[in-house]
Structure 1
Amino acid sequence: MPSKVLLASASLYRKLGRAHNFGLIADDVGVNFSDLIDRKDLIVEQISGPNLRAYLESQGMEIIEGRASFASEREISVDGRRLSFNKALVATGSRPLVPPIDGLDISGYITSREAIDKRRLPRSVIVMGGSSVALEFTAVYRSFGSSVTIVEAAPRIAFREDAQVSEELARRLAEQGVTIYTNATVRRAAPAGPEKSVIVETSEGEITLQAEELFVATGRRPNVEGLGLEEIGVDFGAKGIKVDPFLRTSARNVYAAGDVIPTLQLAQVGAYEGYVVGANAVSGDTMRTDYRVMPRVTWSYPEMASVGLTEEEATRQGIPHVVGSFPLAPLARAFAESEQSGFVKALVDLRNHEVIGFHAIGERSDEMVHEGLLAMHGRIKLHELAQAVFAEITMSEAVGNLFIELDATLERARRAA
């Protein structure tokens, strides 16, 4: 949540920089990064501070602050105080994973944990990693004028997303002046005067990069240490606590959810898993987890969102499918917003004519993805989706046009068969 406040400010700053496109004059627009952090702190406090605590307590919940660990299969110790339980949930989250790179501790670095509190904007940043956290902070830093270089070990940034979406994002970032190295690994780091220096191994040999700040976003590690899991026989490993489809651990009266288990580390996933645990703890383990329709959003610039299978995954699984995309460029709303880059894309199973994957990149992608989500969740046939009427002068018109074009493609394929 805190990073999204920074991203909202970055989005407004970008728009003000293009004020002339809207017939507006916005001269001498600047940024006070310290004030931006103050705003973030205020909003976080409003959402998760005393108001949230008061609400939870009004619902009959008791909140005990302290360090907890399992004392036995039916007891938890909180700073020496013993609490008995019938069912327990482990939801201790995760923390940034920092790889063991020679010289990294000496040179100094930041992760997302420190970045959300830094009150000074760095002039230049090397970002280690190319997934959502790395890309969102790239959007923050580049929007406010920092020079940004991304070093990603995978063949492409946003490597878990559809390749077409990933390639479009890389193209747009390059247009913004972001330098991207893929198939590249940081081998060594060292201080270089007021800056930090890293040796990067690329497919073409070693190169040296320098920047004022080194931002490490190479993944997250589940918080499983010091919980006493071994004492009660809970099975866990480097990727987190092992659970069954009901989110039960190997100790059957103990559940686990969120970043501490090896599922997608997303807020909506954790919220969903919390709901599943609540239902099972009360009703007797009747609800299985189903991650088939789980949305993913990255608030990069441009933002991207997806649900379901990528084109590569569908092909790898041998699912016969048809794929289509529709650009945002011709939309009246895209002209009005001066945001014409990007597209929406969908995959449809040829066997049952249901959407099995939906992807979007560009303005309002974080909202449009839910139209694909509902189509998948309701298992709505493509022909029915194509008959839905979408409001004019919206970005979602692209989704309606996409369904119409895909339906026509399926009809042509049927006639040709």
Structure 2
Amino acid sequence: MTRSNDPYDLVVIGGGTAGLVSAAGGASLGARVALVEYDRLGGDCLFYGCVPTKTLVKSAHVAKTVRTSTDFGVKSSPPEIDFPAVMARMRGVIEQAGEADDPGRFRDLGVDVRLGERASFVSSDTVMVGGARLRSRSFIIATGSEASVPPVDGLDKAGYLTNVEVLQLEELPGSLTVLGSGPIGCEFAQIFARFGVAVTIVSDAAPLPKEDPEVGRLIKAVLEADGVTVHEGFLADSVSVESGEKVLVAKNRLGREITIRSEEILVATGRSPVTGTLALENAGVRVGKSGITVDEYLRTTADNIYAAGDVTGMLPFTHAAEFQAKTALRNALFPVRSRIDYSAVPWTTFTAPEVARVGLTENEAREKYGDVKVWRKDFSGVDRAMADGETVGFEKIVCRKNGEILGAHIVGPDAGNIVHELVLAMRKGIKVGDISQTVHVYPTLAQVNQRAADGFYREKLFGGPAGSAFRAYFGARRRLGRVREVWRPG
């Protein structure tokens, strides 16, 4: 029997995806586990990230569909956005999705759940939680991230929104300036533009700068087609308030200055790790520029303390947090450690069309491997995309000459679902030729994978030595046939 003063096997700090997976997994294995969360279980993804934003993406998509319904032979009136109803639906989805994160469920698993308290390290084996000291053999830090706000003169005084405050709006602003062109900035820009808001993006980089450059160029064109004004290559310099409007001044590297007026400013310029109250220095845990420093085992600079999720600064996605948590949990509880491998971890930006990626870009692959092959297919050549009226986009599969898949990039309808076939292929060493030979249902969007992969066999069969050999074979057969005709008896 465990005594109350015995150390825990594991203390998990943070009740988002990484923390919940760690705590539930540890308790299910029979470990004595405590979970510390100062707010609510569910984390940023549930309340301020994936769940609410994708709910808004759907509402914005419906608005766009109504607006363009005549393209499908259906007459309708222009959409009227009932924004309070949109936000009420969003909150309902959050509530429904959050049922799985009820504290009672984790207590039933045997987790000692401590809500409303912050943890602070006293040493590498002890944290203070409220007035209690919790000793543990191992820890997993999963405190997540928060919006990083750039030091723009006058921004604090003028006021701004982050991904948290923008989801608390009850009225649509007439105009919105978005600082940043990463996934968060692009998604919100398109959402509000489709709701009828005048949206401007101001960013030093092109849209989705971490993606293949061809992807960014297409998404910029898509955003502009939805009415978004994109100022690429500009940094915010100052903000002031004039006649109730927020006036942003931005400059580019050549000193050119632009002025943008809007009702609201949304900051989407990156994320910072949440570590402020942890007193990590007491435990010997180092924090780098982007997050807590971890090795390939997700171990921090303290041997018994691990970190998972956004707080590490790597792959800030919910599914990546879950993936990290499973690795951190194994390593925190058992002596044989497992390395984490990010080579086949995908992600998706939920613009319309969606942007999905796994592995290396074409440029990254060339830098690492030299000569690579790229097989591609435009959605304009996929029959189901034609039928659905969603032909904007393409797929690129980046491979070595032997067909090993190094990366895949999909811009198109339902790309986030389509990419998983390629993720599995990379993880299991399935080559691009096998994708080509796999029967895909017709007509489906997933056929874009097969059609892109078909390029491998087209080149293999119709080009190079094989193509020459086939042409020689059939040429010889025709000549032999003519000889037989000439010498046929009678």
Interval containing the TM-score (normalised by the shorter chain): over 0.9
1:318-372 alpha-carbon deviations (Å, 9 max, x no partner) = 432111210111323212221111111111112x321111011121111111121
* Partner residue in 2 for 1:282: 333
* Partner residue in 2 for 1:321: 372
* Partner residue in 2 for 1:339: 390
Q: CA deviation at 1:157?
A: 1.2
Determine helix, strand or coil for the equivalent of 1:173: helix
1:348-363 → structure 2 map (5 Å cutoff):
348-350=399-401, 352-363=402-413
* Partner residue in 1 for 2:28: none
1:35-46 → structure 2 map (5 Å cutoff):
35-46=85-96
Q: CA deviation at 1:282?
A: 2.6
* Partner residue in 1 for 2:293: 242
Q: Which sits farther off after the overlay, 161-170 or 12-21?
A: 12-21
* Partner residue in 2 for 1:370: 420
Matches of 2:194 and 2:407 in 1, distance apart? 30
Query: What amino acid maps onto 1:311 in structure 2?
Result: E
Structure 2 residue aligned with 1:53, among 87, 98, 103? Answer: 103
* Partner residue in 2 for 1:93: 144
On the 8 A contact 1:349/1:356 being kept in 2, the answer is: yes
Determine helix, strand or coil for the equivalent of 1:86: strand
* Partner residue in 1 for 2:15: none
Are 1:125 and 2:176 counterparts? Answer: yes
Are 1:12 and 2:62 counterparts? Answer: yes
1:367–1:101 Cα change, 3 Å: same
Determine helix, strand or coil for the equivalent of 1:27: coil
Q: Which sits farther off after the overlay, 88-97 or 72-81?
A: 72-81
User: How many corresponding residue pairs?
Assistant: 415
Q: Which sits farther off after the overlay, 298-307 or 10-19?
A: 10-19
On the 8 A contact 1:186/1:199 being kept in 2, the answer is: yes
* Partner residue in 2 for 1:388: 438
Matches of 2:147 and 2:380 in 1, distance apart? 38
Q: CA deviation at 1:407?
A: 2.9
On the 8 A contact 2:346/2:357 being kept in 1, the answer is: yes
Determine helix, strand or coil for the equivalent of 1:245: coil
On the 8 A contact 2:178/2:185 being kept in 1, the answer is: yes
1:180–1:414 Cα change, 3 Å: farther
Are 1:23 and 2:73 counterparts? Answer: yes
* Partner residue in 1 for 2:43: none
Determine helix, strand or coil for the equivalent of 2:208: coil
* Partner residue in 1 for 2:197: 146
On the 8 A contact 2:190/2:228 being kept in 1, the answer is: no
On the 8 A contact 2:138/2:333 being kept in 1, the answer is: no
Q: Which sits farther off after the overlay, 18-27 or 301-310?
A: 18-27
1:191-227 alpha-carbon deviations (Å, 9 max, x no partner) = 1212111111125611111111111100011011110
* Partner residue in 1 for 2:303: 252
**What fraction of aligned residue pairs are identical, expressed as a percent?**
32
On the 8 A contact 2:236/2:248 being kept in 1, the answer is: yes
* Partner residue in 1 for 2:319: 268
On the 8 A contact 2:309/2:322 being kept in 1, the answer is: yes
1:85-134 alpha-carbon deviations (Å, 9 max, x no partner) = 11111000010000111111122111111111111111111111110000
Structure 1 residue aligned with 2:124, among 53, 70, 73? Answer: 73
Matches of 1:367 and 1:255 in 2, distance apart? 31
On the 8 A contact 1:319/1:349 being kept in 2, the answer is: no
Structure 1 residue aligned with 2:114, among 47, 64, 71? Answer: 64
* Partner residue in 1 for 2:38: none
Query: What amino acid maps onto 2:437 in structure 1?
Result: Q
What is the alpha-carbon root mean square deviation over aligned residues? 1.8
Q: CA deviation at 1:414?
A: 6.1
Query: What amino acid maps onto 1:94 in structure 2?
Result: S
* Partner residue in 2 for 1:193: 243
Matches of 1:360 and 1:382 in 2, distance apart? 15
On the 8 A contact 2:376/2:453 being kept in 1, the answer is: no
Query: What amino acid maps onto 1:284 in structure 2?
Result: P
Matches of 2:431 and 2:382 in 1, distance apart? 25
Matches of 1:371 and 1:186 in 2, distance apart? 41
Query: What amino acid maps onto 1:267 in structure 2?
Result: T
On the 8 A contact 1:153/1:185 being kept in 2, the answer is: yes
Determine helix, strand or coil for the equivalent of 2:422: helix
Q: CA deviation at 1:18?
A: 2.2
On the 8 A contact 2:140/2:332 being kept in 1, the answer is: no
Determine helix, strand or coil for the equivalent of 2:403: coil
On the 8 A contact 2:67/2:78 being kept in 1, the answer is: no
Matches of 1:395 and 1:53 in 2, distance apart? 40
On the 8 A contact 2:202/2:235 being kept in 1, the answer is: yes
Structure 1 residue aligned with 2:167, among 113, 116, 121? Answer: 116
On the 8 A contact 2:403/2:456 being kept in 1, the answer is: no
Query: What amino acid maps onto 2:153 in structure 1?
Result: D
Q: Tell me the TM-score normalized by structure 1.
A: 0.95
1:50–1:390 Cα change, 3 Å: closer
Determine helix, strand or coil for the equivalent of 2:442: coil
Determine helix, strand or coil for the equivalent of 1:199: strand
On the 8 A contact 2:160/2:266 being kept in 1, the answer is: yes
- Where does structure 1 lack aligned partners over 5 or more consecutive residues? none
Query: What amino acid maps onto 1:187 in structure 2?
Result: D
